[in-house]
Structure 1
Amino acid sequence: MSAIICCNCYSSLAAPKWTNPRIPTKGSSFLRTQKSSSWWNRQLLPKCSSQKHVHCQLQDGQKGRSFSLKECAISIVLAAGLITGMPSLDWSPNAYAAGPALPDLSVLISGPPIKDPGALLRYALPINNKAIREVQKPLEDISESLKIAGVKALDSVERNVKQASRFLKQGKTLIISGLAEAKKDHGVELLDKLEVGMKELQQIVEDRNRDAVAPKQKELLQYVGDVEEDMVDGFPYEVPEEYRSMPLLKGRATVDMKVKVKDNPNLEQCVFHIVLDGYNAPVTAGNFIDLVQRHFYDGMEIQRADGFVVQTGDPEGPAEGFIDPSTEKTRTIPLEIMVDGEKAPVYGATLEELGLYKAQTKLPFNAFGTMAMARDEFENNSASSQVFWLLKESELTPSNANILDGRYAVFGYVTENQDFLADLKVGDVIESIQVVSGLDNLINPSYKIAG
């Protein structure tokens, strides 16, 4: 039997020597179903977020984490391998498969990765309008500016605001020309609000009110994101014919997941707000929304919560996925990965299998609370109902060089209350998951079919 490597200590649990850590799956590896005893099943945790500023009932308590000597050693080995060109460890389900497992050094040093879920979702929209992106970037950069201590940060914020205002003034005509005709009036209204809001942010900076900057930045970026969504004219591509009859989310949707927390003096319940991206994962997101409408997850327990991931979706009984009552068979969906720069996802194969070792995914595992489908290790098209949320970076999952990217289908992010995901544990109960918006983007909804 292959060794099972613990992600936190890298110690062998089943063999006396180092072997490849297994990738998450639904069956016998990293992200396998909870019924499996695989290593990955012991690595997943869920997160909380709410769309309507629903807050978690929290007292106090913060968690910290220190690195072991072994973790430091592994980091050094991986870094040395990237720099010196020594053979890299193979993280694929098949031991020592051909081809590199990690991106080359140029990817790692190309710039700071985007970790904010809202920013990831904005940049993932299928648009090509340079003018609005030029407005967006300096507003996003305010987050970096606020990392400077004290009111000195406001000098940098002021430069960000002035740059964004200048780009908006210069590019407004091009931005408006990029709006979908049916959404143009709404988009122009949002741009007017954005202009007013940037003047208000400029005044906040002049008043040296640092605490008011981040809330106003969030408001302005919401306007920007909404404008960008108004640029999307219909669904941008055709789903392959073999998947067209499945539930498909052709656009975006938001859900609120309410979790009842047991035996935790610091947290009683939390509502996690999750944005599902059907532009980049229509089959995966459509399958999930369809199950939500069936109340499949309501009353289900969190089945894995180990500080690395949160996982649920394994129904009672021998089945490891959703049994469609109309067929009395497990409904499975294909692996679905959107590569950055491509117009449509690839289906049924990992990027490693396709030889796309340096490709970046449109929806990466960068953010705390990244949501994806679990599947069997050796069967790409075996995902059904089990989902997981990634909680943290590690030596195996650094942003922009993540061994999960291109191997598991990301289809959304927790955008509010995600920090509380780490407080969830096995046995906590999902009281409900409800669609807040975007249900009209779901086509072929099987939940409406009787039986």
Structure 2
Amino acid sequence: MAAFISCNCYSSLAAAKLVCPASPTNRIRFVNGPNSSSWWTRRLVPKCSSKKLERCQPQIEKKGRFFSLKECAISIALAVGLVTGMPALNWSPNAYAANPALPELSVLISGPPIKDPGTLLRNALPIDNKAIREVQKPLEDITDSLKIAGVKALDSVERNVRQASRAFKQGKTLIISGLAESKKDHGVELLDKLETGMDELQQIVEDRNRDAVAPKQKELLQYVGDVEEDMVDGFPFEVPEEYQNMPLLKGRAAVDMKVKVKDNPNLDECVFHIVLDGYNAPVTAGNFVDLVERRFYDGLEIQRADGFVVQTGDPEGPADGFIDPSTGKNRSVPLEIMVEGEKTPFYGATLEELGLYKAQTKLPFNAFGTMAMARDEFENNSASSQVFWLLKESELTPSNANILDGRYAVFGYVTENQDYLADLKVGDVIESIQVVSGLDNLINPSYKIAG
């Protein structure tokens, strides 16, 4: 029994350790002791030291209940998973409370986490082309192959390359047929580069040049991602009428955020490259790009850096968000969550509130540097200008299985220099954020471009 402490407290203790930092505000308390017959449900309760920063601080809320034998069996399996390295469960305590019929364990167990932001962004594109995905997957698997020590890794990499090359040759016709007509010439050009690049990677492997593998893999996956974007024909859905006049990002954009770092001898400044996904969060991403073009964030300080998130966007003065000078009112954006299998995002409600307890978000909180909107605890549509970047990832928690998914609107990922986010401190200054691509995808911009 030592491996799992006790079967009645896993759902809070283990899950909180996977996601929450070990700080006094996130400490778990057991009212009747750790071996009591009560269990705890997790709920995000935004709580910060400053009233204006009352945003996404996770805490624990109790809910008394007795465990059944089936629940204990599942808790034991969960604990064994923690010890043996099996993935954690896609656990939703509030879902259980609403529906006492507990799902079977085989349904709950998910695959290993996808932590790479590039992979998450490729998977989130609104396309359905199995042939290109079968090229993508083995190229992504090279990352795991390179975890093997020494040149032995190259044997595994070679299998990945051969699998990708075989899938490319067998599926090339289907890949080309999946390209949007207006982008077909560009897509075919990229496919030629991809094919040549895979031959070059094969030669790198044969030359036993391990150090050259990762840069070439990155190049090939960039081609794959660009081909997949060329498969998107226009914008895939209509934004609800009440949001159609807001700034909307109908596609993707990328920004470079330059931060001046204080009191750090190892880092003076850093540029973070961030990809914003308007295909899955057009209102949220459009609002951010519009504020970037207004230079809203330039000169703002990092306002929270606690090992769990880095946060900024609270302007000087009494307002919690952006005050639109044209209206004199606070601009707020709705909670916007896109779910796998849905054609349009859900607006204004968390997935728990919608009863979608097993739903998988298209943009999950599982990459270090996941970017999302902060908001008031009890008002889903209160986001405005405050944003945060998640500093946590887990080897045990599958994508869409942590306590943030479905509660906060993700709209992008830091894809370069994300590790340096952990070095940022309160008081570090955002010197500038600049849109470096995709600005033409912004619809209804409210800013005025001077000069």
1:176/1:288 CA distance change after superposition, 3 Å: same
Contact 1:259–1:432 at 8 Å: present in 2 too? Answer: yes
The CA deviation at 1:110 is: 2.6
Partner residue in 2 for 1:436: 436
Partner residue in 1 for 2:254: 254
AA aligned opposite 1:139: L
The CA deviation at 1:147 is: 1.1
The CA deviation at 1:430 is: 0.2
Q: Distance in 1 between matches of 2:202 and 2:394?
A: 38
Write the deviation string for residues 190-244 of structure 1: whole angstroms up to 9, x where unpaired: 0000110000000000011111111000000000000000000000010011110
Contact 1:108–1:400 at 8 Å: present in 2 too? Answer: no
Helix, strand or coil: the match of 2:113?
Answer: coil
Q: Distance in 1 between matches of 2:382 and 2:49?
A: 11
Contact 1:35–1:320 at 8 Å: present in 2 too? Answer: no
Partner residue in 1 for 2:141: 141
The CA deviation at 1:8 is: 2.9
The CA deviation at 1:98 is: 3.8
1:33/1:293 CA distance change after superposition, 3 Å: farther
The CA deviation at 1:16 is: 7.3
1:149/1:13 CA distance change after superposition, 3 Å: closer
Which one of the candidate residues 11, 22, 26 is aligned to 1:9? 22
Matches within 5 A, 1:276-355: 276-355=276-355
Matches within 5 A, 1:44-63: none
The CA deviation at 1:111 is: 1.6
Q: Distance in 2 between matches of 1:202 and 1:115?
A: 26
AA aligned opposite 2:22: C
Helix, strand or coil: the match of 1:258?
Answer: strand
Which one of the candidate residues 44, 47, 66 is aligned to 1:23? 44
Q: Distance in 1 between matches of 2:151 and 2:28?
A: 55
Helix, strand or coil: the match of 1:411?
Answer: strand
Partner residue in 1 for 2:201: 201
Contact 2:283–2:336 at 8 Å: present in 1 too? Answer: yes
1:220/1:279 CA distance change after superposition, 3 Å: same
Contact 2:43–2:403 at 8 Å: present in 1 too? Answer: no
1:319/1:394 CA distance change after superposition, 3 Å: farther
1:229/1:263 CA distance change after superposition, 3 Å: same
Q: Distance in 2 between matches of 1:374 and 1:291?
A: 15
Give the total of aligned pairs.
402
1:420/1:34 CA distance change after superposition, 3 Å: farther
Q: Distance in 2 between matches of 1:400 and 1:13?
A: 21
Partner residue in 2 for 1:117: 117
Contact 1:91–1:403 at 8 Å: present in 2 too? Answer: no
The CA deviation at 1:403 is: 1.0
Partner residue in 1 for 2:267: 267
The CA deviation at 1:341 is: 1.6
1:445/1:13 CA distance change after superposition, 3 Å: closer
Helix, strand or coil: the match of 1:271?
Answer: strand
Write the deviation string for residues 139-197 of structure 1: whole angstroms up to 9, x where unpaired: 11111111111111111111110111111111111111110111101000000001100
Helix, strand or coil: the match of 1:185?
Answer: helix
Helix, strand or coil: the match of 1:447?
Answer: coil
Q: Distance in 1 between matches of 2:420 and 2:103?
A: 31
Partner residue in 2 for 1:214: 214
Helix, strand or coil: the match of 1:448?
Answer: coil
Contact 1:126–1:236 at 8 Å: present in 2 too? Answer: yes
Q: Distance in 2 between matches of 1:343 and 1:202?
A: 39
Partner residue in 1 for 2:10: none
Provide structure 2 residue ranges, at least 5 long, that are not aligned to the other structure.
Answer: 1-15, 32-39, 60-71, 81-90
Contact 1:33–1:41 at 8 Å: present in 2 too? Answer: no
Higher-helix-fraction structure? 2
Contact 1:336–1:345 at 8 Å: present in 2 too? Answer: yes
Helix, strand or coil: the match of 2:353?
Answer: coil
Partner residue in 1 for 2:373: 373
Helix, strand or coil: the match of 1:168?
Answer: helix
1:355/1:231 CA distance change after superposition, 3 Å: same
Helix, strand or coil: the match of 2:401?
Answer: coil
Helix, strand or coil: the match of 2:447?
Answer: helix
CA RMSD of aligned residues (A): 3.1
